[in-house]
Amino acid sequence: MHHSVWRLAIGIVFGLIAWLLPASDAFAHCVLGSRFLPATLATDDPCVADEMSLPTVSWSKTGDVPPGNEWDVSAELSKRITENFGISIGDTWTQIRQPDNPTRAGYADLETTLQYQLLKNDEHELALLLGLVVDWGGTGAGNSGLGTSYSLLTPTFYFGKGFGDLPEQAGWLRAFAVTGQVGYQIPTSSFDLMQNVFIPQVLVYGGSLQYSMPYLKSAVRDYQLPDFINHLIPIVEARFQTPVGNNFGNSFVTTGTVNPGMIWVGSYFQVGLEAAIPVNHASGTGVGLLGQLHFYLDDMFPTTIGRPLLDTAAPRTTPRPSF
């Protein structure tokens, strides 16, 4: 039932976007002085915001022998409650086709995230964020092995840092930025009776190195490059997970991917495309793909649904970085 409600809610929001899009001025959703940090695809950016990813699509080959083809299609909606506190809700539909085995398909457990903005410093282009990710057990397709009977709690620390505060002599190097996250995943049960295995506690971590062509043009030097180039952010992401506790009888091998790619940034949305390179065979076989269409709701509707629910201040008027 919750899946139908979630899809209906997403459809309503998407319809509102199409209806209201021409009505407002833009304001980038994660701004630190002259720096704009985009929403990253494999990890999370370090800002509370009103935003929506619809859809995020990935294709990869599993590490099974023989490998299976896996498709993941997800959606996520984030909303600020106050200027510094927000919540997000998301879900993923997965299909795994493996030779000589039945196709598995269904929804993963519903995921919600509570986020609190610890710091946003414009001068040093620094953002710090604290979050709690909850995967709600029993809400996914447990009969397909895509959902679990237990929940997962993952307290997570996020950060972002731009290098625009380097001396002017650093020149084009000032357009670089990094983001990162570290979380500790704790299951609500220590043993899975159905699978007869211990459920590990897992360190989940990753980050990105990115180069902002919009920042290069607006804050360093305008090289008179084509407009399309000035909207690009080349990026390399990485995301890993390492079992660290309660993992008796299971592998302690770290799994993850390294994701080089590109993000095109507009005034109201961004489009990202990355390769997903497994770090070992346990992480997958061959190179996968990851793509995302992401909407800046706080840019699109700064005076209505793009504002914090409990915000009584006047709408924002600070100029956004120029794209």
Please tell me the distance from the alpha carbon of residue 186 to that of residue 184, in angstroms, as a whole number.
6
Q: What is the pLDDT of residue 17?
A: 41
Q: Which residue has the higher pLDDT, 239 or 11?
A: 239
Name the percent of the chain lying above pLDDT 90: 75
Please tell me the distance from the alpha carbon of residue 72 to that of residue 238, in angstroms, as a whole number.
18
Which tens digits make up the pLDDT trace of 134-173? 999 999 987 777 889 999 999 999 999 999 999 999 999 9
Helix (H, G, I), strand (E, B) or coil at 96: strand
Which tens digits make up the pLDDT trace of 208-217? 999 999 999 9
Average pLDDT over residues 92-109: 92
Those residues with Cβ within 8 angstroms of residue 195's Cβ, 6 or more apart along the chain or in another chain: none
HSE of 3 in the Cβ direction (CA atoms, 13 Å)? 12
Name the percent of the chain lying above pLDDT 70: 87
